[in-house]
Amino acid sequence: MFDYPIFDMPMFGHRLIFAFDAIVHVFISHGAAVGGSIVLVLAQWFAIKNNDRKFDELAYKILFTFFILATAIGALTGIGIWVHVNIINPAAIGALLRVFFWKWFVEWIVFNVEMVFLLWWFLTWKKYPLGTPGKTFHFKLGVTYAVSSWFTMAIITAILGFMMTPGQWLVSEFPAKPDYLAALFNPSWIPSLGFRTFFSVAWASAASMFLAWFFAHDDEDMRQYAMRFFGRILWVAVPVFLAFGYWYYLQFPQAAKDMFPIGAVTRQLAGNPMAVWGLTGGLAAFVVIGGATLYVRPKHAPLAVAVLLLVGCMGLIAEFERVREFVRKPFIIYGYMYANGVRVMDVPVLNRDGFLKRAAFVPDELKTVTEANKLQTGKLLYEMECRYCHTVDGVNAIKARVKGWDEAAIYHRIGSLNSPATPFMPPFAGTDDERHALAAYLASLNTTPALAAQH
């Protein structure tokens, strides 16, 4: 346990950098890859059916944009997620790999198939013009790309669902014997997969309407044709993903549901229902107004309407990802592992024997708290239990949280972290001496700003 060196991001913190990377990746993977492949396969099928060269050319231009996004930004942010999770919470990613190793391996194989068929489909589009026998073969390339792209999302969604609703997946806690099928078929997998599938289609349709405004700007008839085509897909997908979304919501534990308002806005604003509904309703209004205007008046809708539609979709995606991540707290794997990498089953042992004694990278002379090393051991405990969500002086700064508090007050607060007031915080794990050491270090931040850099 805890046999990993500490990697710190002092200014922005782990969670902000990871959140930015992950949300951008979702924008691309859902819009340009999964949803984009489905929407553009439908567009190509429609162009072939009607022998419509102009629409086929427009679909190619949209695919070109999606291709750049998926192969450049999507691939980069995907690698970034792996880098981030390995340095932020190696215990959590280790646990997931032990349970989902072969599923992830299959996903990696399918992802490579997806990339091959994306390249093949995109690079040979003009080689097989409409009306030629090869166009049917080319269409099948697109279908294969869409199926493989969706399959990668299906596996990843199972893992994400497991982190929220793992279900009865442990046959025994020690030694740990997982039930792999129970882990895969966790309660939220199917509803979350349906939600993400149709959400991706809706998002890709909205993005296609935005791009069609540019690519068909000089051809009003084609712009109207494209807006109506992509608009119909959008309005079919919306009610379906809302239905799956409600089913998905029902699978969340009640404690997670209770934190939806905080996840949607902030802890300070969560007490105001208007702030929560105002943000979500406002973004949804952007989508409805933008999508409806482009659909009803495609020839006359200004660029601002297309931008409004795009902003609304991106805002809802970002809000959803923030809520999904936040309401899982205080866990990283619900009911099994806390956000700081401490397994729930290990807390009693750590409270009895000490957290520092189980940390392989802590020097032997710091494994026991003494009066002489109290601040050093307190800083180590902060880094191993608190830095996952907090920085010292940057985003979500711990220094601001303890400003004006003395050591006794902080000691008392550490003992009630996972309380009704802050249900999203993991409990402190460690002996009473370690709790005093952490309190001493945090209290020292009030008077010695440079202390963290000295040790």
pLDDT of 33-84, one tens digit each?
Answer: 999 999 999 999 999 999 999 999 999 999 999 999 999 999 889 988 988 8
pLDDT (0 to 100) of residue 3? 57
pLDDT (0 to 100) of residue 4? 64
What digits encode the pLDDT tens for the residues 285-301? 999 999 999 999 999 99
pLDDT (0 to 100) of residue 448? 52
pLDDT surpassing 50 at residue 449: no
Task: Find the mean pLDDT for residues 309-314.
Answer: 95
Q: In terms of DSSP H, where are the helices of 69-219?
A: 75-88, 90-123, 134-164, 180-184, 189-215
pLDDT surpassing 90 at residue 7: no
Closest CA to 56 of 113, 115, 4, 127: 127
What digits encode the pLDDT tens for the residues 323-377? 999 999 999 999 999 999 999 999 999 999 999 998 888 999 999 999 999 999 9
What digits encode the pLDDT tens for the residues 173-211? 767 788 999 999 999 999 999 999 999 999 999 999 999
What digits encode the pLDDT tens for the residues 389-437? 899 998 899 999 999 999 999 999 999 999 988 999 999 999 999 999 9
Query: CA–CA separation, 11 vs 362, rounded Å?
Result: 24
Question: What 3-state class would DSSP assign to 232?
Answer: helix
Contacts of 266 (CB under 8 A, 6+ apart): none
pLDDT surpassing 60 at residue 442: yes
Residue appearing with tokens 């979350």: 192
Mean pLDDT value across the chain: 91
pLDDT surpassing 50 at residue 1: no
pLDDT (0 to 100) of residue 343? 93
With a pLDDT cut of 70, the percent of the chain lying above it is 97
> What is the band of 172 on the pLDDT scale with cuts at 50, 70, 90?
confident
Closest CA to 273 of 289, 287, 262: 262
Q: Are 350 and 432 a contacting pair, CB within 8 Å?
A: no
CATH architecture under which domain 344-454 falls: Orthogonal Bundle (1.10)
Query: CA–CA separation, 34 vs 32, rounded Å?
Result: 6
Between residues 7 and 326, the one the model is more confident about: 326
Q: Are 333 and 412 a contacting pair, CB within 8 Å?
A: no
Between residues 18 and 242, the one the model is more confident about: 242
What digits encode the pLDDT tens for the residues 129-154? 998 889 999 999 999 999 999 999 99
